[in-house]
């Protein structure tokens, strides 16, 4: 018990017996439990329909299930979603789900201005700074509708990172990207010093970026361990649809 309490104290995320059903009654996640330490990078892998995206939505508070989710020691509940979600940033698989302002710069600034986290001038400076960091400053005045998929993914990531989240959630971050864009994104994410959980079908991405892998299948955890151990276990991967 003392060891469990000590681990809990150092955990950024704690999930216990998490369960979620879709409105039609389909069980998406069942008895999911794990914890994530500070600056740990965790890949969530599994076949289609395993519950990967649903899990990320639950961690961000966009869905609420049964069981317990704690972020930085706070239990995720209806009355504290705003507080917790200010510390968690989710980048969707499809950037069109996040981009809606007239220009790239407006989109990246949006969260800062709406939440009054920064005065307008400071928000502008921060937005330009994160676009520069992502090598996307040339896109600032472009319409988000005119961007390529890779450019849209950079802008969606910029809009999350500008809020300085302590936890970064990414759903299939490299899907649809060309090889050069994939290499750049993996290199950039590898250098980020923050807690990161990403869902992916790309086992090579998991191998390059993750410290740890959680394998989901049919809504339950089939394996949880060091990335090298799980990704080199061909029998385990084949048995779970990978």
> What pLDDT is attached to residue 11?
86
**pLDDT truncated to tens, each residue of the chain (242 aa)?**
333 343 344 689 999 999 999 999 999 999 999 999 999 999 999 999 899 999 999 999 899 999 999 998 889 887 788 888 888 999 999 999 989 888 999 999 988 877 655 557 788 899 999 999 998 999 999 998 999 998 999 999 999 999 999 999 999 999 888 898 889 999 999 999 899 999 998 899 999 999 999 999 999 999 999 999 999 999 999 999 88
pLDDT for 222 = 96
Contacts of 49 (CB under 8 A, 6+ apart): 218
Q: In the CATH scheme, what architecture does the domain 1-87+193-242 have?
A: 3-Layer(aba) Sandwich (3.40)
Q: Are 111 and 159 in contact (CB under 8 A)?
A: yes
Whole-angstrom Cα distance, residue 226 to residue 17?
Answer: 22
pTM of the model: 0.90
Distance CA 42, CA 45 (A): 10
- What is the reported pLDDT for 165? 92
14-to-10, 55, 68, 77 alpha-carbon distances in Å? 10, 13, 8, 14
pLDDT of res. 121: 79
Ordered by start, the domain boundaries in the chain are: 1-87+193-242
């Amino acid at each position: 018990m003392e060891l469990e309490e000590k681990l809990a104290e150092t955990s950024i995320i704690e999930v216990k017996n998490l369960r979620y059903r879709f409105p039609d009654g389909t069980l998406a996640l069942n008895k999911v439990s794990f914890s994530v330490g500070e600056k740990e990078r965790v890949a969530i892998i599994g076949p289609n329909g395993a519950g990967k995206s649903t899990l990320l939505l639950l961690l961000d508070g966009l869905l609420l299930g049964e069981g317990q989710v704690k972020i930085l020691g706070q239990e995720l509940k209806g009355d504290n979603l705003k507080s917790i979600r200010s510390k968690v940033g989710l980048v969707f698989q499809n950037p069109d789900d996040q981009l809606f302002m007239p220009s790239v710069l407006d989109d990246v600034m949006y969260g800062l201005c709406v939440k009054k986290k920064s005065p307008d001038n400071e928000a502008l400076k921060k937005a330009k700074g994160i676009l520069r960091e992502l090598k996307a400053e040339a896109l600032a005045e472009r319409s988000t509708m005119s961007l390529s998929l890779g450019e849209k993914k950079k802008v969606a990531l910029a809009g999350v990172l500008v809020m300085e989240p302590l936890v970064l959630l990414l759903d299939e971050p490299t899907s649809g990207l060309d090889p050069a864009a994939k290499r750049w994104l993996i290199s950039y994410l590898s250098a980020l010093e923050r807690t990161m959980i990403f869902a992916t079908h790309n086992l090579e991405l998991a191998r390059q970026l993750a410290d740890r892998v959680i394998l989901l299948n049919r809504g339950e955890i089939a394996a949880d361990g060091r990335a090298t151990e799980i990704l080199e276990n061909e029998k385990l991967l084949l048995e779970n649809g990978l």
